[in-house]
Amino acid sequence: MGSKVIVGRYELLEKIGDGGMAVVYKAKDRLLNRAVAVKILKPEYTNDDKFINNFRKESHAAASLSHPNIVSIYDVGKEGNINYIVMELVEGMPLSRLIKQRAPLDYNTVIDYSKQIASGLAAAHKHGIVHRDVKPHNILVNEDGVCKIADFGIAKAISTTTIVDGTSETIMGSVHYFSPEQARGGYVDEKSDIYSLGIVMYEMLTGEVPFDADNPVSVALMHINEPITPPSKLVDGIPPGLEKIVMKATDKFQSNRFKSAEEMIEALDNIDLVSRVVGSSVFMGADKTQTIKPVQSEPYIYSEDQEEPERDTVPPAIAAAKKRRRRRVITALLIVAAVAAGLAIAAHSLGIIGQPDIEVPDFTGRTVEEAQEIAESKELDVDVVKYEESDEYKTGEVMDQDPPAGEKVKKNTTIKLTVSKGSDESVVPQVVGLSEKDAKKLLEESEYEVEVRVVTAPQTEGIVVNQSPGAGEKAKKGDTVTIDVSDGEGKEEGEVPNLIGLTESQAKNAITDAGFEVGNISEESSSDYKPGLVIDQEYPSGTELEKGKSIGFTISKEVESKTVQLYIDYADAQNDVFYLTVTVSDKNGTRNVISNAQRQKSDEGETIKIKGQGQGTITVVFDNDTVMRRNADFTTGELS
């Protein structure tokens, strides 16, 4: 394969990667004389028209992105049955390999990498593109430490750890990194990428993903139901502020996460600033015990006006001994005083003494984000320790706290929160696209009964093609969810494209690209469309139609025009010699067919022929006076 050249331009040199859907080669662009990476779709996907169309469409969308933290896409094309993407060649390694070799990473490195990844995501989100599969395997780190996000919008690798919607071919993400809403089959937006980035940060800090199990379905349920263990429980020396960023990014509820990637970058900038100002030792397990240096006492000296002890009453040896004892006592007292003062200062700074007690606010009924804001204003911390079902509190609201509201605590005390998962009515997960076995397992683990119906459908035999209730709807535990499983014998249907306003060649391409045949093409006069454009189609756009069927359409042709005859009577002229103007307004605009032409009243009148298009108006003016206005139909030649 090393000598293979694609489209006479890209010379494949060596294979550098092999994924679920494509193989990546290092190649040489002969035209621009530069090294590139060429991703070629695997043969097993080349016969899947819908997959190919999505592959091309999403590749073109990703090619619109230009950012230093996103792998650039140079070209997308096809030669024979080879579908390929030409990308920037990044000399380095995937973040997944770097984590495997070096994790846990230094927190400063984690901040640096996370800011770069968030910056790339922010650029994509501004273009309305959500990655949906942010993971270390899709992030490349070059030799200069620059992170670049790959597979934007085209990460559709099908593997045992990837869940895909088999109907729409919409990827839901890699199970260890995707968000709870992806696991539920819910609405996915920019905050879903932020969740996945939070999981990547967690793995960089600890060397582990927060959730792991024997099968992807179990991992998906853990994302939905299980709280994340704080990374500081696994690795020492993680800045509390950085841990808060990770925990906020990976909150179960989208509304509690960072509102945007830019907001997340701002939070990371603040942590970066603190580490530069106070140094890394504050976070990296520096010894917290301070040694208080003993106070050096000065020899006791009498002042000039102080009386000396009487020498005749106290023997010199005893006086000297007393003096030595007095010095030792004074020195000891000074040391004790210094130690006490140091301890008092430390206790005051830590809030142990000298600080007023803080009354714990009532967090119940509030969201976690609201609770965090209130706690910060009171110089307290909050930590979500568990999620429980509740009929009283909505999903995402605090339902219990420890210590309770009203209790007095010291500054920086952590209040433990229990958050509601809602009532026993839960959101039905997305199972369309899964195998019957995986769908039943997911639904049964969600405590639903399952009814299976086999239906005729074009999808692979054994794949779930429909479900009731649908994904995202609520149902009580114990309710029955009905799933329709394909027998693999149905014919595939497609959506009829909109042809109105297209040229004939464009309409033909749209029909064949959608998997249909071109049917009968007719012509019809139209005053609303230019000649050569489609004015009608056999099936309305959006109609689901069996692929391979023919679709006919109608092309506009030029409207035939006729000449109208108009007799102009000079009897209305005020002067014997006057000036005649005749104005026509029709589809082609307004124009004078006769302009200020001299006439004599004695000639009595004249007949003129006027040609136009569509419906129009003819106005006759003698000098400056309008003497006649007639409506004309140039398609029939009639006046009214």
Tell the residue number behind the tokens 């490349």, with chain if given. Answer: 140
Among 133, 151, 484, 586, the active-site one is 133
Phi, psi of 487 (to 5 degrees): -95, -5
Cα–Cα distance, 630 to 615 (Å, whole number): 11
Our answer to whether residue 133 is catalytic in this structure is: yes
Q: How far apart are CA 393 and CA 594, in angstroms?
A: 82
Look at the chain and count its residues: 640
Provide DSSP, 507-562. HHHHHHHTT-EEEEEEEEE-SSS-TTBEEEESS-TT-EEETT-EEEEEEEEPPP--
Evaluate whether 184 touches 429 at the Cβ level (below 8 Å). Answer: yes
CA angle 180, 249, 232 (to 5 degrees): 110
For the chain, state the CA radius of gyration.
Answer: 40
Which positions ≥6 away from 129 have C-beta within 8 Å? 61, 62, 65, 152, 153
Give alpha helix (H) positions in 36-106: 49-63, 95-102
Structural contact between residues 432 and 166, judged by C-beta atoms closer than 8 angstroms = yes
State the Cα–Cα distance between residues 114 and 413, nearest whole angstrom.
Answer: 29
Is residue 291 within 8 A of residue 342, CB to CB? The reply is: no
Residue 582 Cα distances to 203, 572, 604, 629, angstroms:
83, 15, 17, 10
Other beta carbons within 10 angstroms of residue 31's beta carbon come to 10
Tokens encoding 171: 């990827």
Strands annotated E in 443-504? 449-455, 464-468, 474-476, 480-486, 493-495
What letter would DSSP give residue 70?
B
The token pair that represents 543 in the structure block: 């109609």
Q: Name the 3-class secondary structure at 472.
A: coil
* Secondary structure (DSSP) of 188-226: --HHHHHHHHHHHHHHHHHSS-S---SSHHHHHHHHHHP
Catalytic site positions? 133
